[in-house]
């Protein structure tokens, strides 16, 4: 599957990504912090035309969940 290859390539390119889990409704990345922060971008190709809104995204320290940040939902349209 192409997703596995892309995620493995991301892990090989960035040592702060330690592993990932692919679930039915999400992809979970396990990352180590690094000085200067980490920027993360991704693209996806939907199979059908839709107008949708993503859920809020949350990032947190596994051992300290109170240290977290939330990114507001984004709207998108696929034609």
Reported as a single tens digit per residue, the pLDDT across 45-63 is 777 888 989 889 888 888 8
User: For the whole prediction, is pTM greater than 0.75?
Assistant: no
Ramachandran area for residue 18 (φ above 0: left; ψ -120 to 50: alpha; else beta): alpha
CA max distance for the chain: 41
Question: Could you tell me the two tokens for 34?
Answer: 């690094």
In terms of pLDDT, which residue wins out, 22 or 2? 22
pLDDT the model gives residue 17: 85
The whole-number pLDDT of residue 27 equals: 84
Residue 1 has pLDDT above 80, yes or no: no
């Amino acid at each position: 599957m192409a997703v596995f290859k892309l995620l493995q390539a991301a892990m090989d390119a960035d040592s702060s990504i330690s592993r990932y889990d692919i679930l039915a409704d999400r992809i979970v990345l396990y990352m180590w912090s690094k000085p200067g922060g980490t920027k993360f971008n991704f693209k996806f190709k939907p199979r059908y035309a839709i107008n949708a809104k993503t859920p809020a995204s949350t990032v947190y320290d596994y051992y300290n969940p109170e240290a977290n940040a939330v990114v507001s939902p984004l709207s998108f349209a696929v034609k």
